Amino acid sequence: MHCYICGKNDVVAETSRQLGSGDVIIIPGDVAEVEDCKEFIDEAIHHFGKLDHLINDAGVTQSVVFEDYIHIQAANPIMDINFWGSTYITYFAIPHLRKSKGKVIVITSGAETIALPVASVYSASKAALIRFFETLRIELNPDIKITIVFPGVVATDMTTPRCIEHYGSDFIFTETVSRCAKGIFNGIFRGETYIEEPSWMKWIYVMKNVCPEIVEYVLIYIYIRSLKPFFKRD
């Protein structure tokens, strides 16, 4: 198994080797830059000769009440990385994935399904990502398969501190990285077009469609009781 990692991450590379990837290369770059995305694909093809899978998982979060942006342009990096970063690199990967009958895996977020307070632009970036790849799935059918992943809150350095700060140390909805990764891998292996991880996340989507008023009420309650005090304007 060969592994190509876009970005400077020696830990991921070493873990990949330990899991059986005999040939791993790392190319540092910025997915928000078009030329860097082109270089990612060019280097992969130059090194391996083909491209079988593209995993789009670059993303950043930003916790802020929308009206509290000092400069609205501060929201641009969220869309540049979360949305355009995946679309740029996919654009350059498509010709090679057609040749290999390959697959695109897109890591989105459960925040797309619900109106997540203090994450309006982040949620919008993930919603755009999902609609884009759903459309692309039709356009690229049957040459390239696309799997869209909806992860919940995964216990990483990026998410766990916020959960503890805003919801308390007993926040029960987090999932370990290893369990999440295993669930995603199994779903891809089964050829699923959508993967909810953990699996109970799908019930949130059902509730949102069947009883949107109840979901909105719960979110308003969470925002007023748990989040608003942390983001109160001076």
Task: List pLDDT tens digits, range 79-93.
Answer: 999 999 999 999 999
Q: Which of the residues 4, 88, 122, 167 is marked catalytic?
A: 122
% of residues, the chain, pLDDT over 90 = 39
Q: Domains of the chain: which residue ranges?
A: 52-231
- pLDDT(119) > 60: yes
Q: In this predicted structure, what is the pLDDT of residue 83? A: 95
Q: In this predicted structure, what is the pLDDT of residue 161? A: 47
Q: In this predicted structure, what is the pLDDT of residue 148? A: 95
Catalytic site includes residue 88: no
* pLDDT greater at residue 202 or residue 172: 202
CATH code matching the domain that covers 52-231, chosen among 3.20.20.70, 3.40.50.740, 3.40.50.1000, 3.40.50.720: 3.40.50.720
Q: How far apart are CA 13 and CA 177, in angstroms?
A: 16
Task: Express each pLDDT in 149-192 by its tens digit.
Answer: 988 777 666 554 454 444 443 444 577 878 888 888 899 889 99
Q: How far apart are CA 93 and CA 98, in angstroms?
A: 9
Q: Is 4 helix (H, G, I), strand (E, B) or coil?
A: strand
